[in-house]
Structure formats: structure tokens, C-alpha cells
Amino acid sequence: MEMEKLVSLCRRRGFLFQSSEIYGGLNGFWDYGPLGVELKRNLKDAWWRDMVAAHDDLTTHAGAPGAYEMTGLDCTIIMHPQVWKVSGHYDLFADVLVECKESKKRYRYDQVRCRWIDGTGMHLPGSDQQYATEQVKYLIATVAENEAEDLEKRAMKLLKVRSKDKDSLKWIDGVTTLDQIDTQDFDKVFAPEATKLGTFGEPRDFNLMFESHAGALQSEDNKVFLRPETAQGIFVNFKNVTDSSRVKVPFGIAQVGKSFRNEITPRNFTFRSREFEQMEIEFFCHPSQSQDWYKYWRDRRMAWWQSLGLSGKNLILRDHHPDELSHYSTGTADIEYAFPFLPEGEYGELEGIAHRGDFDLRSHMEGKLDPNSCPLTVQLGEDGKPVHRGSGRDLTYRDDITNERFTPHVIEPSAGADRGALALLCEAYHEDTAPDDKGQDQTRVVMRFHPRIAPVKAAVFPLVKKDGMPEIAQDLYRALKKKFPAFYDEKGAVGRRYRRQDEAGTPYCLTVDGQSVQDQTVTLRDRDTLEQVRMKLDDVVEEIERRVTG
């Protein structure tokens, strides 16, 4: 499917609009239109229902090490600035930005996760030599800019990234394996290149957090940040939740909400936006069981996306290579989707599931202490203690039964609602043929959403605007509307009305015709099979409800 077709359908039918479009739009910001808002809400509702509201605390679910509880939170977007200092975002959520003067391409180094990414955030592609070349050029440019830099450290960083992609080493003369590049080679291979390639602008630090001020005066003292993730609100409320409810480890806290990142290069429709929504769970468990819980969540989350229709080869679960892991993580997997704007064989992240150890709770207690963490993480004050101290509060947990006190380990499934909605849109888009009013086959665009997430569940049409048909159809429409979004349409040829609903992804169309007036039956048309069955008017609401929930 060509992405342009989907983008144009989204605008034409009211799934997505560019924010502030009448003023020329604002890069990286998107509005959901009448159909889009229902789609995204259905996605978030399905997540909340399946992960939290309908979760059965008493049963051990398949693949889980035991039963567990789930609860929710809704935290503020603006939090105490110290939260971001301790979480590392204040110091580390800065991208090193460099722009190639020729291509104007921008590159950034994600210091929180210690990895190189381009503007799209895609993983280093398997065989894209050009990309690998650009990565190296970027590194060289950075080194060339600052000769005082520790070359060896930089070379190691490079090798770390490139070890994911041994094939791409081939572009360097004669070098085909990682072993052939050691730190001495770095000078030999890269330094001459560095002189040749003076085409990059100066690397600059660029923090991704949006800033504002709380209060009338704008000073350093009242500077605040829009949250770049929802997770921290959960960590800082860990004690509040355990003290105020009866939850016991293992348990999870879920939150859905807006996050903001001043992305250097927003692009690919809503995939990389500056304002987006996340659906995050922080799952707290005993350290000895954490690996089992990690595996459980990884598989559970993959199965959940599949249950919404992202099945098949477009969706993959990718375990991170040990080199790719954040310093605190012993396991991370991404659920990735083959978005159509990516080259063949490449996937973009929809959700990350990370084993975060006790890193977050410990940081909020003690501040940043881990000397082996990412470069720049630890800032020591004159007293030799970390500058970014934690809250000093006790965020450990005592097991009532064993009396053991420990800092829980955390498994974090972190999904994007916008990337999720985009994947569902991409997956749904189909072109096929269907007969028109004269029985001639015509090309149709049909959005094959899973009924559970389809924006409108059913549309009701009177065949003609007379003979009592509109009255019956309107009553049916009102009855459906009490349960879920439904649509009434009496204008134009019925084939055209079907076609409009196909584009909106409405799974069922109900038509009231002459026979309906006689025997109180209607036809139910299935969007995908085009099959039409006649059913009793009285059974319609219950039948549609059964089909669209669950």
C-alpha cells in the first residue's frame, strides 16, 4: 500500500488532520478528526479494559508465574523538575544533533538508550550501506569537531552500534568483520576520512523536553517541563498506591496520557510526533521472579496487538541485542510493525517492553548512583555525592507474609497510542472490487478494522425516503446509538452509501427496505465478505453488540 493513499484517505474521511492547518500547520502535531477520535479512543479503551478494568486478579493467566493485580493512575503532565533530574531526562534526554550541510539530514544520538538513530528513529537497517556510511560520517564529524575527545571511547561507541549490523562494515575498505576494527584502526580508518568529510555542521546538544514556567515570573527557579513519558508519574506515586490501596507485589500500575518530545525531525505522518499519547504499565515484582514476569509481559503484549488485527508478518517481536540494551536493563523487546513508509524488511517500534530492574525506584530514593551507566549520567558534587539527589523517601516494599523488605523490580510495557492507531490504519487499508448499484464490479477502498476498534460499528439506511422506511430505520438507529457509535444515512444510491461506510471501516450496514415494512426484518451487510443476511429487527442490536465487543 502506498502511504500517500492512506494519508489522503485520512484527511478526506476525517481520521487525521494536520494541527492548525488553516495557518499552514505545525510540524509534528496532529489532530484526530471525527472518525480518528473514535478509532484512537477504541484503542485506548481496549487497552485499559484488557490490561486493567477487566483483569482478573484471582486467576493465574497462561504464561504468568502467578496471579497479579492491576490498578490505574492519572498523573499530571507537569511534575516537580527534580523528577526529571533524577530520571535522567534533564541531563540525558538531550540529543546530540548534527546536520549534514549537503543533504540537510539530521542525526541524533539517543543518550538515554545509548544508540544512534536518524530522524525516523529506525533501527540501523540490515544492509543499508548508505545509512551506515552516514552514521560513521556523523561520528567522524563529531570527532573532527573536538580533537580533545577521547577517540577510543568514541570508537567503542561506534563499534557498539555497528556490531548490530556486521554487513554494513563492508563499505569500509577491506573490513568485513568486527574483529578487524580495533581502536588503533580507528585512527587509521577514520581520521583521514574525517579531514575529507568536512560537511557536517557543529554538533549541538538538544534537550527533547519542552519547557515552560509555573507561575507569573519566568525564571530558572520556576522552570518546568512537559513530561516526555508517563512512566515517572507512576514511579513517584508507588508509595501512595501501596499505602492507599491493598495491592500487593506483584502488581501493575497503568496510565494513559499525553507525552511531549521536541523531536528534532518529526516525520512519517503521526509515527514521530512532538505531542503523542502513551499507554504505559509499570509492573512491580520480586527480583527473583522478574525474568519470568518479563517474558510473560513480552508475550502477552504481542498477543494483545495481534488480537486487534495486527496479525501476520507485518508484526514482529524483536528482542534487543545485549549491545542495544540500556545500562539498567537485563532484557528489552520491541513490538514492531512494518509501516508502509519504511523500506521493505524494516519495522518501526510500536511498543517497548523493558526489564528495568530496580533502577527507577532506587533512583527516586537515592539519586543517580550507577557509575557504569551511560556517559554523562553521574554528576558528582564537591562532597563526592551525586548532584541529582533522590527524594530520600523509602520506596522499598515489605512482604507481609515473609517479612522480607526489598526494592521491587520493574517490567515496563510502554506503547504508543498514536503509533498503534497508525498501524491499525495501515493494516486496515485495502482495495478490492465490489458490485455497484447496477451489479458492475468497481474498485472500492475498504478499511478492514477489527470490529472492536472500528470508529462506527453500524450504519442504518432506509432503501428509499418513503413508505415508512425512514421511520423504521431511525428507530433502529436510535436503539443502536444507545450502545455504540452508529450512523444514519438516507441520501443517494444505496451502493454509494455502502461505499462511504467501507471507507470509514464500518463493519455492518443495515438496510430497511419494502419487506422490512411488511415483516419487521432488515438486511445486514458484512463489510468484508459483502454477504447480506436478513434478520429480525428485534434481534439487531443484540447481534451487533455481540459482534463488536470482545
The yes or no reply on residue 414 touching ligand ATP (CB under 6 A) is yes
What DSSP designation does 188 have?
A: I
Rg (CA), the chain: 27
Among 95, 351, 366, 427, binds ligand ATP (CB under 6 A): 351
The yes or no reply on residue 278 touching ligand ATP (CB under 6 A) is yes
Among 88, 233, 257, 352, binds ligand ATP (CB under 6 A): 352
Q: Which of 535, 467, 427, 511 is nearest to 6 (CA)?
A: 427
**Contact window for ligand ATP (CB under 6 A) among 16-24, 199-207, 271-279, 311-319:** 271-279
The yes or no reply on residue 326 touching ligand ATP (CB under 6 A) is no
- Residue 27 CB, shortest distance to ligand ATP, in Å, is 12
Closest residue to ligand ATP: CB criterion: 416
Q: Which is nearer to ligand ATP, 419 or 457 (CB)?
A: 419
Q: Which is nearer to ligand ATP, 276 or 293 (CB)?
A: 276
Please check whether residue 92 is in contact with residue 363, taking contact to mean a CB–CB distance below 8 angstroms: no
Q: Checking DSSP bridges between strand 409-416 and strand 458-462, what pairing results, if any?
A: unpaired
Q: Which of 204, 214, 192, 234 is nearest to 52 (CA)?
A: 234
Rounded distance, CA 109 to CA 117, Å? 6
Alpha-carbon 414 to chain mean position: 7
Q: Which of 70, 404, 53, 393 is nearest to 250 (CA)?
A: 70
**Contact window for ligand ATP (CB under 6 A) among 82-90, 379-387, 409-417, 450-458:** 409-417
- Burial of 272 from C-beta contacts in 10 A (0-12 / 13-18 / 19+): buried
Rounded distance, CA 355 to CA 235, Å? 15
The yes or no reply on residue 273 touching ligand ATP (CB under 6 A) is yes
Query: What is the distance between the terminal CA atoms of the chain, rounded to a whole angstrom?
Result: 29
The yes or no reply on residue 362 touching ligand ATP (CB under 6 A) is no
The yes or no reply on residue 350 touching ligand ATP (CB under 6 A) is yes
Site string for ligand ATP, 219-238 (x = CB under 6 A): ----------x---------
The yes or no reply on residue 272 touching ligand ATP (CB under 6 A) is yes
The yes or no reply on residue 324 touching ligand ATP (CB under 6 A) is no
Size of the site for ligand ATP (CB under 6 A): 17
- Residue 231 CB, shortest distance to ligand ATP, in Å, is 9
Q: Which is nearer to ligand ATP, 81 or 121 (CB)?
A: 121
- Give one word for 170, left, alpha or beta, with left for phi > 0 and alpha for psi -120 to 50: alpha
- Residue 360 CB, shortest distance to ligand ATP, in Å, is 13
Output the DSSP codes for 107-126. EEEETTTTEEEETT-PPPPS
Binders of ligand ATP among 244-263, rule CB under 6 A?
261, 263
What is the per-residue burial (b if ≥16 Cβ within 10 Å, else e) of 347-361? bbbbbbbbbbbbbbb
**Contact window for ligand ATP (CB under 6 A) among 79-87, 273-281, 499-507, 527-535:** 273-281
Site string for ligand ATP, 119-138 (x = CB under 6 A): --x-----------------
- Give one word for 492, left, alpha or beta, with left for phi > 0 and alpha for psi -120 to 50: left
Among 298, 364, 419, 499, binds ligand ATP (CB under 6 A): 419
Rounded distance, CA 123 to CA 51, Å? 28
Q: Which is nearer to ligand ATP, 124 or 350 (CB)?
A: 350
Q: Which is nearer to ligand ATP, 85 or 123 (CB)?
A: 123
Which residues touch 205 (CB under 8 Å, ≥6 apart)? 94, 95, 96, 97
Cell of 273: 510526533
The yes or no reply on residue 502 touching ligand ATP (CB under 6 A) is no
Alpha-carbon 456 to chain mean position: 23
Among 416, 451, 462, 505, binds ligand ATP (CB under 6 A): 416
For 71, other C-beta atoms within 10 Å of its C-beta total 15
Rounded distance, CA 194 to CA 138, Å? 10
The yes or no reply on residue 276 touching ligand ATP (CB under 6 A) is yes
**Contact window for ligand ATP (CB under 6 A) among 81-89, 300-308, 321-329, 350-358:** 350-358
What DSSP designation does 15 have?
A: S
- Residue 77 CB, shortest distance to ligand ATP, in Å, is 15
Query: Can you give the binding site for ligand ATP, defined by CB under 6 A?
Result: 121, 229, 261, 263, 272-273, 276, 278, 349-352, 414-416, 418-419
